[in-house]
């Protein structure tokens, strides 16, 4: 990302605003709204594949953890960002862990992994509010059969930047912000920024030209480039051309900003598998049924 400028010289205009209010359950632990997916938005969202926003939802105390039991993935990465609550992960590669508010889990499914995602046991026992994001990130064809991997990024590991003029803060989960590198390792150029803007705060981001860019408002209200105002659960998809985005918060605002180099390759997906051809999807099912994950 380039040096920050307070007046956008080459604005990156909003292409459209995506609003989805239809929620569905993933397992019995995650009431989610799918904000975008490659099935409905195609190459416009590449290198990202899907974003599910779970909650905020209140769960009563229980003696049985809720969630999604063991299931497979191949050909992409899952990124889980927790805002409230706790999620425990385990997989057949021997990885396990628990993430809570501010933590991030970045899992590379690669050639194949079986994993489960459940509410944390402590959270299950006491109950409370769960709010989280799960983002799917595509892998280029040359990396789709890479070895599975797991990055657990604790809140303390993620760099936090104070924005100029006391406008707010920006956490660099992945990518680069004015020379500060993010905590996550990625296969292609990707910026994932978790932003907090104070009411009245103004900041300008200078992002790479020709990169896919999206901004999801989680709470608050923000005016973009002095033209359009985004409310909670509004997702702005920007034009590829242009570099600068001016953000003016009219309320205390939380934003997840995604920015990445498109992967110009065919996508073939079915359920938990995302590859490049239908033959590769059939092979994924064969390998899963044969226990080769």
DSSP SS3 for 232: coil
Q: By C-alpha distance, which of 179, 174, 204 is closest to 189?
A: 174
DSSP state of 184: S
Which pLDDT score is estimated for 193? 98
- Show binding-site residues: 71, 73, 115, 117
Class of the 14-278 domain?
Answer: mainly beta
Q: Cβ(68)–Cβ(27) under 8 Å?
A: yes
Query: In angstroms, how far is the first alpha carbon of the chain from the final one?
Result: 37
- Assess contact for 236 and 229: CB atoms under 8 A: no
Q: Which residues are annotated as a binding site for Fe cation?
A: 71, 73, 115, 117
DSSP 248-290: EESS-EEEEEEEE----S--EEETTEEESSHHHHHHHHHHHHT
Contact call for residues 186 and 253 (beta carbons, < 8 A): no
pLDDT attached to residue 185: 97
H helices then E strands: how many in the chain? Answer: 3, 26
Weakly modelled stretches of the chain, pLDDT under 50: 2-8
**pLDDT tens sequence across 62-89:** 999 999 999 999 999 999 999 999 999 9
Kindly report, residue by residue over 208-261, the tens digit of the pLDDT. 999 999 999 999 999 999 999 999 999 999 999 999 999 999 999 999 999 999
What are the CA-CA distances from residue 69 to residues 72, 113, 166 (Å)?
Answer: 10, 13, 43
Please tell me the number of Cα atoms within 13 Å of 231 on its side-chain side: 3
């Amino acid at each position: 990302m380039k040096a920050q400028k307070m007046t956008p010289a080459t604005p990156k205009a909003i292409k459209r605003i995506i609003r989805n209010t239809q929620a569905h359950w993933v397992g019995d632990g995650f009431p989610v709204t799918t904000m975008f997916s490659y099935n409905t938005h195609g190459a416009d969202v590449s290198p990202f594949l899907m974003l599910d926003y779970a909650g905020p939802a209140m769960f009563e105390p229980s003696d049985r953890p809720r969630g999604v039991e063991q299931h497979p993935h191949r050909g992409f990465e899952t990124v889980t960002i927790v805002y409230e609550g706790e999620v425990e992960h385990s997989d057949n590669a021997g990885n396990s862990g628990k993430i809570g508010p501010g933590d991030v889990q970045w899992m590379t499914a690669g050639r194949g992994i079986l994993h489960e995602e459940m509410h944390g046991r402590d959270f299950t026992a006491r109950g409370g509010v769960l709010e989280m994001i799960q983002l799917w990130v595509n892998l280029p064809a040359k990396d789709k059969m890479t070895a599975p991997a797991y990055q657990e990024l604790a809140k303390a590991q993620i760099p936090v930047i104070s924005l100029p003029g006391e406008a707010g803060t920006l956490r660099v989960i992945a990518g680069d912000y004015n020379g500060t590198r993010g905590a996550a390792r990625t296969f292609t150029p990707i910026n994932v920024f978790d932003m907090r803007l104070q009411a009245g705060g103004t900041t300008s981001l200078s992002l790479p030209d020709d990169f896919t860019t999206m901004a999801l408002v989680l709470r608050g209200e923000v005016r973009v480039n002095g033209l359009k105002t985004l409310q909670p659960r509004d997702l702005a998809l920007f034009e590829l051309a242009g570099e600068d985005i001016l953000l003016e918060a009219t309320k205390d605002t939380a934003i997840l900003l995604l920015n990445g180099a498109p992967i110009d390759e065919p996508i073939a997906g079915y359920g938990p598998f995302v590859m490049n051809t239908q033959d590769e999807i059939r092979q994924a099912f064969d390998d899963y049924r044969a226990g080769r994950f």
